[in-house]
Structure 1
Amino acid sequence: MKIGILACGPMAETFARTLIQMEEAECYAVASRSLSRAEAFAREYGFTKAYGSYEALCEDPEVELVYIATPHSCHYENMELCIRHKKPVLCEKAFTMNAGEARKIMELAEQEQVFAAEAIWTRYMPSRQMIREVVDSGIIGKVSVLTANLSYPISGKERIMRPELAGGALLDIGVYGLNFALMHFGTDIERMESSVRMTDTGVDAMESITLFFRDGRMAVLTHDIYSRSDRKGIFYGEKGYIVVENINNPRSIAVYDAEDRLLKQMDVPEQISGYEYEVRECIEAIRAGAKESSSMPLSDSVLVMEIMDRLRKQWGMVYPREEE
């Protein structure tokens, strides 16, 4: 399938390096607001076409799937452009800036009968099913609590610190913690509590989020933009606990009993980068005529945005464009 990429930043580079190694995909077109940057990207990664505008890429009849790697604040308009040009789209997380935008994209994709999906890669990875099978096996008994953390020293990045780019920890890394909890504990949330520390620029820097589920389980999530955490996800049960190494790209799953003895350890399959799973599922879905991903349906993307909207409301955090 001929793939087009909007934007030429680090995520686009990782995506391109992945495509090069996939038999199912072709590095076909790349677009940037700067034609020279798009041309340099195309030369480096072997793309056939380079465009100096996103519109030009969407007008190319050969493009079969567009990957969007722009800042959060641009996702809505970029997806709208693609969908109106009948281009299937895979958009980086966070899906949009807020739930209102996410709902509009879902409605537009349905109206235009165009495939659309969010590129939250952990949703597509084989580790998701591996974790579920271990938890559901009962090896640690009834699970009551899940904890997950994800922190990176990324406060020096412009897109993180600028509210007009929908910056902050929540939409960039908090989305992984939330998805980890929802994937494994479901979506029936009874209530939600949180604490936050803001930056001088007005975005969230550090946060703790507690989700209480109607079935009695609880998920505690922490994220920040100043430090490097161990990135573990841990499930606590009656007979022991399960440790997932790196919720952002799981590497292994270890099971311990109540005396901290290792019972079982599983490594996830070797991968190119981890991006290949989302690309492969999108290609298969589009070929089959599906209009959304089974691993990350649009309703789930909307739900995650609704949760993040509720958190930002608790914090009094509004992006400039939302005030317009």
Structure 2
Amino acid sequence: MKVGILAAGGIAAKMADTLNGLKHPEIELYAVASRSVERAQEFARKHNMPVAYGSYEELAADPAVDLIYIASPHSEHHTHAMLCLKHKKALLVEKAFTANEKMAREVLAYAREQNTLVTEAIWTRYMPSRRIIAQALKDGKIGSVHTITANLGYRIFNKERIFKPELAGGALLDLGVYPINFAMMFFGHDIKEISGTCVKGESGVDMIDSMTLIFADGKAATLHATAMGPADRNGIIYGDKGYMVVTNINNPEKVEIFNADHKKIEELPLPEQVSGYEHQVISCLKAIKEGAIECPEMTHQETLDVMRVMDSLRTRWHIHYPFE
């Protein structure tokens, strides 16, 4: 499977480094595209890629490309996905999948029409740690679960992709998507109530988010995201017999079980990874081999459900992007 990368920024570099480190016999890091051919060529040289394109159209039209990883800003995901699907290219689209649910529906409808794989690159959904955590909860290690808290924060308020409304900026789509996914991975998608507040920056997009999800079965998730500085990134799942602490919901490093007396009774072993990005690409390879148009780790419906949660929050916060 020859992989092309659309856009040549930081997250694209992380994916390139991951695939080079993976050394998978069936996965080849093949091409990169940027709006600047010089930038694409520099990226290709740095990451040992044979092909560099100065336009996204050239990448989409290359018959050798089997999978395209879309690593452009949120605001561009819809346009770039539709371009690639016109050429029936399988897609791994970086989170947030699109800027809103309407755009997501259009992309996924076109994918079905083209009978072409499209999946969202929310990497935590594909990691082995997800299955390990879910199994521990199923085994009753903390009893009957009732509440999740999760947070994610980095000092990125000064980055264009965060503060510019025209790039679908704000903490929610870039950071809040992770605690939301963390809660929905383990508590499901049947959400009864969505509420929250935010603190906006000068450009009018959210910089600090406080979010609460109430699930139909009575469980609750209290979530936090901030672009103003670092957070501890912890996710905690509470049960009636104890609680589980996940260190770094963005890429779990440690999963610890505590009893009702707050004593650590177990640490769940996590497997070694290249970076964590590899699992979603391996899932795409499997789906392509099977002729599937979605990956089981993040189905089309699950992507739409998450987009709907974020749309609901932005509506409450009166945040609308200029292109909507």
Aligned to 1:112: 114
Structure 2 counterparts to residues 16-95 of structure 1, below 5 A:
16-22=16-22, 23=24, 24-95=26-97
Mapped pair 1:187 → 2:189? yes
Mapped pair 1:251 → 2:253? yes
Q: Deviations over 1:48-96 (max 9, x none)?
A: 1111000011111100100010000000000001111111010100000
Q: Is residue 115–residue 286 contact of structure 1 (8 Å, CA) maintained in 2?
A: yes
SS at match of 2:298: coil
Aligned to 1:320: 322
2: CA distance, partners of 1:21 / 1:140: 36
Taking only aligned residues, the RMSD between alpha carbons, in angstroms, comes to: 0.8
Mapped pair 1:234 → 2:236? yes
1:298, distance to aligned residue in structure 2 (A): 1.2
1:205, distance to aligned residue in structure 2 (A): 0.6
1:28, distance to aligned residue in structure 2 (A): 0.8
Letter in 1 for 2:153: S
Mapped pair 1:277 → 2:279? yes
Q: Is residue 71–residue 159 contact of structure 1 (8 Å, CA) maintained in 2?
A: yes
Aligned to 1:302: 304
Aligned to 1:136: 138
Mapped pair 1:173 → 2:175? yes
2: CA distance, partners of 1:192 / 1:34: 42
Q: Is residue 198–residue 206 contact of structure 1 (8 Å, CA) maintained in 2?
A: yes
1: CA distance, partners of 2:106 / 2:220: 31
Q: What is the count of residue pairs matched by the alignment?
A: 322
1:267, distance to aligned residue in structure 2 (A): 3.2
Q: Deviations over 1:198-229 (max 9, x none)?
A: 11101101111111111111000001111211
Letter in 2 for 1:74: E
Letter in 1 for 2:130: R
SS at match of 2:323: helix
Aligned to 2:220: 218
Aligned to 2:165: 163
SS at match of 2:49: coil
1:139, distance to aligned residue in structure 2 (A): 2.0
Q: TM-score normalized by structure 1?
A: 0.98
Letter in 2 for 1:8: A
2: CA distance, partners of 1:267 / 1:95: 30
1:137, distance to aligned residue in structure 2 (A): 1.4
Q: Deviations over 1:124-162 (max 9, x none)?
A: 000001111111211221111110011111112111000
SS at match of 1:273: coil
Mapped pair 1:100 → 2:114? no
Q: Is residue 251–residue 267 contact of structure 1 (8 Å, CA) maintained in 2?
A: no
Structure 1 residue ranges without an equivalent (≥5): none
Letter in 2 for 1:239: K
Structure 2 residue ranges without an equivalent (≥5): none
1: CA distance, partners of 2:321 / 2:300: 23
Q: Is residue 232–residue 245 contact of structure 1 (8 Å, CA) maintained in 2?
A: yes
1:21, distance to aligned residue in structure 2 (A): 2.2
Q: Is residue 35–residue 52 contact of structure 1 (8 Å, CA) maintained in 2?
A: yes
